């Protein structure tokens, strides 16, 4: 199926302020049609290597190619299979080879058309080939529009854990055409919503309360959707501008991810069992209840978080994941490989309540183990 997207309106613009690496996130319906002219204006004379997955190749690729053609931007396209297991070394190697074989130069652009999987993988290719090509994000999933296309984290998974190999490489432009979300599956839309809720839970209790009242409009494609995407991008842009390389506050964006990433690795990145946003939803509920167990957070707040995630249809418990999970000791071994671990000490994003998250850099292994055992029984 080839999707037809014709509407256009003035984009909402969020600036990611990073000195000479600053860039704009453009948000609005119909922006894909402007991709060619915008790329030409930003990088005159550059060619483009579009990296996309097989689902996007059937829906929105043709529109992107047409836009580049109209603007006279020369392009080649490389397709990868859809799904988390594509974020692996062999795909990265193949794509680097493809881009080099096409003789693209450092000043040319890698254009990621897809969700977070394509964005993370293509971004790592852009960061690596000729030691850093231009990179443009055209995020097509809710998750990619509110989170993964912004901030410059790129990379792939390893059998040792999630996103363990990668680089920081900022895009030059993010073009978030919210009309593209109309073809996203309900399950993937819900998964992306977990990262939207994350911004409320990190430090914006008013936004979380707004989501509790207005989530239906986000799912049905009302004006609430653009508001949620723009609010999320503004929150992410602010945190990334404060701490681009995650030496401090940026770790807050990992709320729910220490548990979530371990669960994704535990199911061997099998998207039929668990996709990233679902892992984050379970992880955020766990982070709140772990905080309750440590006497940091009121029980009522944890129940509110659980109730909201469940209301939109997200999983909140490890028992919601189909199939068997490894024992808690194994989960803890995976957690011990997390990138936030410092001098062997586990780091978690904990919370004092909704919108009051903080980074705790010395969490005892025993307390995590005891909590996980209680959760699993």
Ligand X SMILES: NC(=O)c1ccc[n+]([C@@H]2O[C@H](COP(=O)([O-])OP(=O)(O)OC[C@H]3O[C@@H](n4cnc5c(N)ncnc54)[C@H](O)[C@@H]3O)[C@@H](O)[C@H]2O)c1
Q: Work out how close the CB of 294 gets to ligand X at its nearest, in angstroms, rounded to a whole number.
A: 26
CA dihedral 256, 261, 264, 266 (to 10 degrees): -120
The answer to the question of residue 188 lying near ligand LNCXM5UN (CB under 6 A) is no
Q: Work out how close the CB of 183 gets to ligand X at its nearest, in angstroms, rounded to a whole number.
A: 4
Q: Which of residues 87, 172, 285, 339 is near ligand X by CB under 6 A?
A: 87
DSSP state of 146: I
Nearest CA-CA partner of 88 in 182, 158, 137: 158
* Contact partner, 47, from ligand X, ligand LNCXM5UN, none, Cβ < 5-8 Å per class: none
* Contact partner, 257, from ligand LNCXM5UN, ligand X, none, Cβ < 5-8 Å per class: ligand LNCXM5UN
261 as an active site residue: the answer is yes
> How many Cβ atoms are within 10 Å of 328's Cβ, its own excluded?
19
Q: Work out how close the CB of 334 gets to ligand LNCXM5UN at its nearest, in angstroms, rounded to a whole number.
A: 13
Nearer to ligand LNCXM5UN, 32 or 252 (CB): 252
* Residue, CB closest to ligand X: 116
Cα three-residue angle 19-21-27, rounded to 5 degrees = 105
Residue 153 annotated as binding site: yes
Residue 162 annotated as binding site: yes
For residue 124, give Cα distances in angstroms to 90, 187, 236, 328. 13, 26, 20, 32
Stretch touching ligand LNCXM5UN by CB under 6 A, among 221-229, 247-255, 290-298, 300-308: 247-255
Residue 160 annotated as binding site: no
> How many Cβ atoms are within 10 Å of 222's Cβ, its own excluded?
12
Given a contact cutoff of 8 angstroms between Cβ atoms, the answer to whether 188 and 141 are in contact is: yes
Question: 29-58 mask for ligand LNCXM5UN (x: CB under 6 A)?
Answer: ------------------------------
DSSP alpha helix (H) spans, 129-180: 142-143
Cα-Cα end-to-end distance for the chain: 45
* Euclidean distance between CA atoms 172 and 210, whole angstroms: 31
* Euclidean distance between CA atoms 132 and 156, whole angstroms: 17
257 as an active site residue: the answer is yes
The answer to the question of residue 224 lying near ligand X (CB under 6 A) is no
Nearer to ligand LNCXM5UN, 62 or 242 (CB): 242
Q: Give the count of alpha carbons within 13 A of 240, CB side only.
A: 27
The answer to the question of residue 237 lying near ligand LNCXM5UN (CB under 6 A) is no
The answer to the question of residue 234 lying near ligand LNCXM5UN (CB under 6 A) is no
Q: Give the count of alpha carbons within 13 A of 241, CB side only.
A: 16
* Euclidean distance between CA atoms 251 and 255, whole angstroms: 8
75 as an active site residue: the answer is no
Given a contact cutoff of 8 angstroms between Cβ atoms, the answer to whether 109 and 150 are in contact is: no
Question: Could you say which residues in the range 131-150 bind ligand X, by CB under 6 A?
Answer: 140-141, 143-144, 147-148
> How many Cβ atoms are within 10 Å of 210's Cβ, its own excluded?
16
Q: Which two tokens stand for residue 318?
A: 């490890």
| Interface residue list for ligand X (CB under 6 A) | 53, 55-56, 59, 82-84, 87, 114-118, 120, 140-141, 143-144, 147-148, 151, 153, 163, 180-181, 183-184, 188, 191-192, 275-277
Which residues are marked as active site? 131, 153, 195, 236, 246, 250, 254, 257, 261, 276
| Interface residue list for ligand LNCXM5UN (CB under 6 A) | 147, 151, 153, 162-163, 195, 246, 250, 253-254, 257, 339
């Amino acid at each position: 199926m080839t999707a037809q997207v014709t509407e256009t309106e003035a984009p909402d613009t969020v600036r990611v302020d990073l000195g000479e690496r600053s860039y704009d996130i453009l948000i609005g319906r119909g922006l894909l049609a402007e991709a060619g002219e915008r790329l030409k204006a930003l990088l005159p004379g550059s060619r483009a290597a579009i990296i996309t997955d097989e689902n996007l190749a059937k829906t929105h690729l043709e529109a992107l190619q047409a836009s580049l053609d109209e603007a006279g931007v020369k392009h080649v396209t490389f397709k990868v299979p859809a799904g988390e297991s594509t974020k692996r070394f062999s795909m990265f190697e193949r794509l680097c080879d493809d881009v080099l074989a096409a003789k693209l130069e450092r000043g040319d652009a890698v254009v990621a058309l897809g969700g977070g999987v394509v964005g993370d993988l293509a971004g790592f290719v852009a960061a690596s080939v000729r030691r850093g090509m231009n990179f443009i994000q055209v995020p097509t999933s809710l998750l990619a529009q509110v989170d993964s296309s912004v901030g410059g984290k790129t990379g792939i998974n390893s059998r040792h854990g999630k996103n363990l190999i990668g680089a920081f490489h900022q895009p030059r432009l993010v073009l978030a055409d919210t009309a593209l979300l109309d073809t996203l599956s309900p399950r993937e839309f819900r998964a992306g919503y977990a990262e939207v809720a994350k911004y409320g839970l990190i430090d914006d209790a008013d936004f979380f309360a707004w989501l509790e009242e207005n989530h239906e409009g986000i799912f049905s494609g009302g004006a609430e959707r653009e508001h949620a995407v723009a609010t999320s991008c503004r929150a992410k842009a602010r945190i990334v501008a404060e701490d681009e390389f995650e030496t401090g506050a940026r770790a807050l964006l990992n709320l729910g991810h220490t548990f979530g990433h371990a669960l994704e690795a535990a199911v061997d990145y099998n998207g039929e069992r668990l996709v990233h946003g679902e892992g984050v939803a379970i992880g955020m509920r766990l982070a709140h209840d772990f905080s309750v167990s440590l006497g940091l957070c009121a029980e009522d707040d944890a129940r509110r978080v659980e109730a909201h995630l469940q209301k939109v249809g997200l999983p909140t418990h490890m028992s919601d994941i189909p199939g068997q999970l490894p024992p808690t000791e194994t989960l803890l071994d995976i957690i011990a490989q997390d990138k936030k671990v410092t001098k062997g000490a586990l780091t978690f994003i904990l919370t004092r309540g909704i919108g009051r998250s903080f980074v705790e850099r010395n969490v005892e292994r025993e307390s995590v183990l005891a909590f996980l055992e209680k959760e699993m029984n």
